[in-house]
Amino acid sequence: MMMWERTTEGKGAASMALRHAVLAALLVGDGSGGDGGYSGYQLAKAFDIGVANFWHALPQQLYAELTKLEKEGLVAGRQVVQETRPNKRLFRVTEAGLAELAAFTAAPSKPSFIRDDLMVKVQAADSVDTGPLIEQLEERASVAEAKIELFGKLLRKMRGELDEEEFLRRGDRIGPYLTCLRGLALERENREWGLRVAAVLRARGPVRAER
Amino acid sequence: MMMWERTTEGKGAASMALRHAVLAALLVGDGSGGDGGYSGYQLAKAFDIGVANFWHALPQQLYAELTKLEKEGLVAGRQVVQETRPNKRLFRVTEAGLAELAAFTAAPSKPSFIRDDLMVKVQAADSVDTGPLIEQLEERASVAEAKIELFGKLLRKMRGELDEEEFLRRGDRIGPYLTCLRGLALERENREWGLRVAAVLRARGPVRAER
DNA sequence: CCTGATTAGTCACTTTCTTGACTATGATGA
DNA sequence: TCATCATAGTCAAGAAAGTGACTAATCAGG
C-alpha cells in the first residue's frame, strides 16, 4: 500500500487549515495591540510580516475566515466607530477559540508543505536557457537579504533590552519570536542557495545542445 | 495601494502551477530511466523524494495532470504492455512541453510559499499546553535527521565519483542536484530549529496562568 | 482641485486540493 | 495457502484556496 491510501485513518482530524493560523496570529494582537484585538486589515498586515514565514493568505481569505470564526464563536468581534477612518471591527480570540487552538496543537501535524517556482526552474536548469533564471536567483537573494535585516530588527524589538537567551527564558510571548527565528534562518538559506546556484549556472555558461 | 490590489497586472501569466513541476520532474526520468520516461506511478515516487523539497502533490493529482498535459501535447505517453505487472503508460516531455517550461522559466516567479502546522503551533505556544508540541518538535527533528541522511546518499549517488565542485562544473544534469542541496539545507535547519525550540519550551515548563 | 495612497472592507466566481473509495495482477513472506 | 505488499491506475464529491472587481471615506502632495 502506498502513501496515498491512508484510508480510514486520520478521520475526525478536521483540517480547515487557515483558521488556526488566523487564531494564532490574532493572539498576538490581543493585548499588545493596546486596544485589544486586530481588525481584518491589521491582521492582513500582521500576516504579511511574521506569519508569512509559515503561512500565506490574501486579505480576502482572512476576512472570510474571520466571518466564519465569529459565526462559530471562536473569535468575538466588536464594532469600533472611527471618525477619521472608516469604521472597523476588532476581533479577539474567545475561550472557545483558545480551546480549538489547544486541540489543534495536541493533534498530529500534517507535514509542512512548500511550493517554490524557482526550485522548479532550477530542477529544469539543464534543459532550458539559464539566463533569466540566474537573474531571478540573484533577485531572490537580494530580497532575502532585505528580509534578513527586517527580521533582525523585529527580533531586537521583540526581545527589548534582554539578550536572546534571557528573553527565551523569561520573556512573555516567545511564540512569535521563535517563528521569526525560523524565518530568519530560512531567508539566510535562501540567500546562500540563490547566490551559490547563480554562480554555478553562470560558470557553466549557456546550455549545451539539448536532446 | 496594498499588495492584494494588483488588478490587471499579472494577467496572461497563466498559473496552473503543478504542470511545470510535473514537466521538470519528468525531464529526469527522460533518458536516465533507461526506458525513456516515467509512468504516473514512478512519477509519484520521484515526487516523494526530491521534488517534495519544493513541491507537494498527491498521485491522483499527478495522474490528472499527466492526462491534461497529454491532451495539450506537452507530454507524450506510450503504452507499455507488461506481463509480470499491470500495463503502464510511460510519459516523456515533448518539444512543446520543453518550450512551455522555457517560457515558464523566463517568466517572473511568484514568491515561494510555505504552510506549516508546526509553526502555527509554535506561534501560539504562549497560550496552549506545550507538552504535545514539544513531542512533535522532537519528532520532526528526527524525521529531518532521516532525510538529511537520505539526501546525503542521493547526492553522493548523483555526483558519482566526482567531488561536488567538479560535478557542478562538468556533470550533466545538475538541476536535481542543486534542488537536493536546498532540500538538505532545509532539513538541517528543520532539525536545528526543532531541537532548539523544544529545548526552550521544555526549560520554561508549563504555561503560566493565561489571560 | 485632482491624483494617489491608506484604511476598511465585501462579493462572486473559478481553480485546485483533498478525501475516500474502487479495480486489477503478480510477487513475497509466514 | 492466505495475507499483504508493490505495481498501476481511475473516479467523484466536497472543502479550501485563489482571483478579480467593487465600494467608500480620508488624507497628503502637487
* Domain positions in chain A: 15-106, 117-204
Q: Is the pLDDT of residue A1 over 50?
A: no
Q: Which of A23, A54, A126 sits opposite B173 (nearest CB)?
A: A126
Separation of A114 CA and C14 C1' (Å): 23
Per-residue pLDDT of chain B (211 residues; tens, 9 = 90+): 344 443 333 333 456 789 999 999 999 876 544 567 899 999 999 999 999 999 999 999 999 999 999 999 999 999 888 888 888 999 999 999 999 999 999 999 988 889 999 999 999 999 999 999 999 999 999 999 999 999 999 999 999 999 999 999 999 999 999 999 999 999 999 999 999 999 999 999 887 655 4
pLDDT digits (tens, 9 = 90+) for B53-98: 999 999 999 999 999 999 999 999 998 888 888 889 999 999 999 9
Which residue(s) pair with B38 in the sheet?
Answer: B91
Across A113-120, average pLDDT: 94
Q: Which of A119, A136, A176 sits opposite B123 (nearest CB)?
A: A176
The H or E element that residue A79 is part of is strand A75-80
How high is the pLDDT of residue A113?
83
Q: Quickly state the pLDDT bin for A29 (edges 50, 70, 90).
A: confident
Q: Quickly state the pLDDT bin for A6 (edges 50, 70, 90).
A: very low
How high is the pLDDT of residue B84?
81
How high is the pLDDT of residue A56?
92
Amino acid letter for position B8: T
Percent of chain A with pLDDT over 70: 88
How high is the pLDDT of residue B184?
98
Question: B24 burial class (0-12, 13-18, 19+ CB within 10 angstroms)?
Answer: buried
- Yes or no, beta carbons of B27 and A123 under 8 Å apart: yes
Q: Is the pLDDT of residue A124 over 60?
A: yes
How high is the pLDDT of residue B6?
38
Q: How far is residue A91's CA from residue A66's CA, in Å, rounded to a whole number?
A: 8
* Least trusted range by pLDDT, from A25-29, A86-90, B29-33, B166-170: B29-33
CA of A10: nearest nucleotide by C1' is C19
* B16-106, CATH topology level: Arc Repressor Mutant, subunit A (1.10.10)
pLDDT digits (tens, 9 = 90+) for A152-209: 999 999 999 999 999 999 999 999 999 999 999 999 999 999 999 999 999 998 876 5
Q: Residue A78 in contact with residue A90, Cβ under 8 Å?
A: yes
Helix (H, G, I), strand (E, B) or coil at A34: coil
Across A108-114, average pLDDT: 89
Across A24-33, average pLDDT: 75
Q: Is the pLDDT of residue A103 over 70?
A: yes
Q: Quickly state the pLDDT bin for A36 (edges 50, 70, 90).
A: confident
How high is the pLDDT of residue B83?
81
Q: Which of A112, A123, A186 sits opposite B118 (nearest CB)?
A: A112
Q: Residue A92 in contact with residue A76, Cβ under 8 Å?
A: yes
Task: Give the CB-side neighbour count of residue B124, counting CA atoms within 13 A.
Answer: 29
CA of B38: nearest nucleotide by C1' is D8
How high is the pLDDT of residue A127?
96
CATH of A15-106, one of 1.10.10.10, 1.10.3720.10, 1.10.10.410, 3.10.20.80: 1.10.10.10
DSSP per-residue codes, A126-185: TTS--HHHHHHHHHHHHHHHHHHHHHHHHHHHHHTTS-HHHHHHH-S--HHHHHHHHHHH
How high is the pLDDT of residue A30?
66
Separation of A124 CA and C29 C1' (Å): 41
Nucleotides of C under 7 A from a protein CB: 4-12, 15-22, 24-27
